[in-house]
């Protein structure tokens, strides 16, 4: 079933189109009067996901994995676009998962100080999170997504048909982000079919983004579970996908909230149930010291007024600061 969700941002409103086969509607969703389309994707995606922009186009490939989210990739891609002669009257079409939409969106924000971008998201994680909301960026060795820009797409196309081609682990990677939405108002998402499930997550994110585009307040709740997740990813010694790390981070956040008296044990159990339902682990998969994790927490981009965690509570999920190290260490023990 086809769903269209609006992200309401005044004169920059755009639509997120969800449903099987929606990638074949790409030509309809390009900005009016666009000249050419630079299709940014990855080699493994290009072999099984094809798009027809309906205008003159050229394909540009970037590398795979988090290592491709780098300033080196941004420079290389920008130079290739310049050689092709991309102008402000053209559009970048980012076809892929979060790496592609993050890089493609960031290049769109910077090239000629801004060109239009359409995202054709091909992963579950991308469709429910990464492709929506205009947050773009790349990593530094010191941390994830530390260099980037807010640059809203013209349209986001979420073709649920392509999810059938994902390897099981890549699909489970998306389920880690989907688990987050259970606690942001999504309720029993596991009872919906895939189109409705994706659309429900998109509506939740669109509502948050519409009210707080640049993460000055409520949008921080979308980082639920991400503080520990990002620390584990930055540590770089674990075989963890982003969604897998978020699942561990969700349970840690619940354990931490319980120790602060924000939620009861039943709510902690519900976090563990949801994570287990999606066949995700709630345990840090190796050795890392409390000292290292606490230091990595401080690098998180939410840490404006000291280390900040997004935690569940009676008023819902919200940012919380000034948590003592002893409480953090006690909560970490629950996910070791």
Residues 45-92 have pLDDT tens digits of 999 899 999 999 999 999 998 899 999 999 999 999 999 999 999 999
User: Around Cβ 231, how many Cβ atoms within 10 Å?
Assistant: 25
Q: Is 219 a catalytic residue?
A: yes
* Active-site residue identified among 69, 144, 180, 242: 242
pLDDT at res. 188: 85
Question: Which residue would you say has higher pLDDT here, 91 or 190?
Answer: 91
* Active-site residue identified among 3, 119, 172, 230: 230
Residues 99-146 have pLDDT tens digits of 999 999 999 999 999 999 999 999 999 999 999 999 999 999 888 889
Entry pTM: 0.89
Whole-angstrom Cα distance, residue 229 to residue 240? 9
Each domain of the chain, given as residue ranges in start order, spans 3-175, 224-333
- 248: Cβ contacts below 8 Å, ≥ 6 apart: 225, 228, 229, 232, 240, 281, 282, 283, 284, 335
DSSP, res 31: P
Q: Is 305 a catalytic residue?
A: no
pLDDT at res. 175: 96
Question: Which residue would you say has higher pLDDT here, 216 or 134?
Answer: 134
Is residue 234 within 8 Å of 299, Cβ to Cβ?
Answer: yes
* Active-site residue identified among 226, 241, 271, 302: 226
DSSP character string of 7-30: E--GGG-EEEEEETTGGGGHHHHS
User: ∠ at Cα 232 (190, 279), nearest 5°?
Assistant: 25
Task: Give the architecture (CATH level 2) of 3-175.
Answer: 3-Layer(aba) Sandwich (3.40)
Same fold, 3-175 and 224-333: no
- Three-state SS at 138: strand
* Active-site residue identified among 172, 182, 203, 215: 215
Nearest one of 7, 9, 222, 26 to 119, comparing CA atoms? 26
- In the predicted model, is pLDDT for residue 300 greater than 80? no
- In the predicted model, is pLDDT for residue 306 greater than 90? no
Band (190; pLDDT cuts 50, 70, 90): confident
Q: Is 215 a catalytic residue?
A: yes
Q: Is 265 a catalytic residue?
A: no
With both helix axes pointing from N to C terminus, report the angle between 98-110 and 71-84 in degrees, rounded to the nearest 10: 60
Among 93-102, 242-251, 307-316, the range scoring the smallest mean pLDDT is 307-316
- In the predicted model, is pLDDT for residue 42 greater than 70? yes
Whole-angstrom Cα distance, residue 74 to residue 77? 5
- In the predicted model, is pLDDT for residue 221 greater than 70? yes
* Active-site residue identified among 113, 142, 164, 191: 113
Whole-angstrom Cα distance, residue 64 to residue 50? 17
Evaluate whether the domain defined by 224-333 bears CATH number 1.20.1090.10.
yes
pLDDT at res. 305: 55
* Active-site residue identified among 69, 135, 144, 241: 135
Mean pLDDT comparison of 8-12, 187-191, 253-257, highest-scoring range = 253-257
- In the predicted model, is pLDDT for residue 303 greater than 60? no
Q: Is 242 a catalytic residue?
A: yes
Whole-angstrom Cα distance, residue 296 to residue 279? 27
Residues 262-291 have pLDDT tens digits of 999 999 999 999 999 999 999 999 889 999
Is residue 161 within 8 Å of 21, Cβ to Cβ?
Answer: yes
Q: Is 226 a catalytic residue?
A: yes
Q: Is 142 a catalytic residue?
A: no
pLDDT at res. 11: 86
* Active-site residue identified among 23, 144, 205, 302: 205
Q: Is 75 a catalytic residue?
A: no
Please report where in the chains the tokens 């074949």 appear, as a residue: 24
- In the predicted model, is pLDDT for residue 227 greater than 70? yes
- In the predicted model, is pLDDT for residue 217 greater than 90? no
- In the predicted model, is pLDDT for residue 166 greater than 80? yes
pLDDT at res. 302: 57
Please report where in the chains the tokens 């108002």 appear, as a residue: 185
Q: Is 28 a catalytic residue?
A: no
Q: Is 58 a catalytic residue?
A: no
* Active-site residue identified among 119, 173, 223, 262: 223
Q: What is the average pLDDT score of the chain?
A: 93
Nearest one of 169, 199, 195, 201 to 182, comparing CA atoms? 201
Whole-angstrom Cα distance, residue 300 to residue 159? 32
Whole-angstrom Cα distance, residue 39 to residue 152? 17
């Amino acid at each position: 079933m086809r769903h269209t969700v609006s992200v309401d941002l005044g004169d920059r409103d755009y639509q997120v189109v969800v449903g099987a086969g929606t990638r074949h509607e790409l030509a309809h969703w390009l900005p009016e009067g666009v000249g050419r389309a630079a299709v940014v994707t990855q080699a493994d995606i290009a072999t099984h996901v094809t798009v027809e922009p309906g205008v003159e186009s050229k394909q540009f490939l970037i590398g795979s994995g988090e290592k491709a989210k780098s300033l080196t990739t941004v420079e290389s891609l920008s130079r290739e676009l310049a050689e092709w002669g991309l102008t402000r009257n053209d559009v970048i079409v980012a076809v892929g998962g979060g790496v592609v939409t993050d890089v493609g969106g960031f290049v769109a924000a910077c090239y000629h100080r801004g060109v239009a971008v359409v995202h054709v998201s091909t992963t579950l994680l991308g469709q429910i999170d990464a492709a929506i909301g205009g947050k773009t960026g790349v990593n530094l060795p010191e941390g994830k997504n530390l260099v980037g820009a807010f640059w809203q797409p013209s349209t986001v196309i979420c073709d649920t048909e392509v999810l059938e081609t994902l390897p099981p682990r890549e699909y489970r990677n998306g389920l880690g982000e989907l688990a987050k939405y259970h606690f942001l108002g999504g309720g029993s998402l596991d009872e919906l079919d895939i189109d409705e499930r994706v659309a429900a997550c998109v509506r939740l994110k669109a509502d948050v983004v519409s009210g707080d585009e640049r993460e000055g307040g409520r949008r921080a709740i979308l980082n639920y579970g991400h503080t520990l997740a990002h620390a584990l990813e930055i540590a770089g010694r674990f075989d963890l996908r982003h969604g897998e790390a978020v699942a561990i981070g969700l349970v840690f956040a619940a354990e931490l909230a319980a120790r602060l008296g924000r939620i009861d044990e039943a709510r902690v159990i519900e976090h563990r149930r949801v994570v287990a339902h999606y066949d995700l682990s709630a345990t840090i998969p190796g050795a890392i010291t409390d000292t290292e994790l606490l230091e990595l927490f401080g690098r998180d981009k939410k840490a404006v007024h000291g280390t900040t965690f997004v935690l569940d509570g009676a008023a819902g999920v919200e940012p919380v600061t000034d948590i003592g190290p002893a409480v953090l260490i006690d909560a970490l023990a629950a996910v070791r």
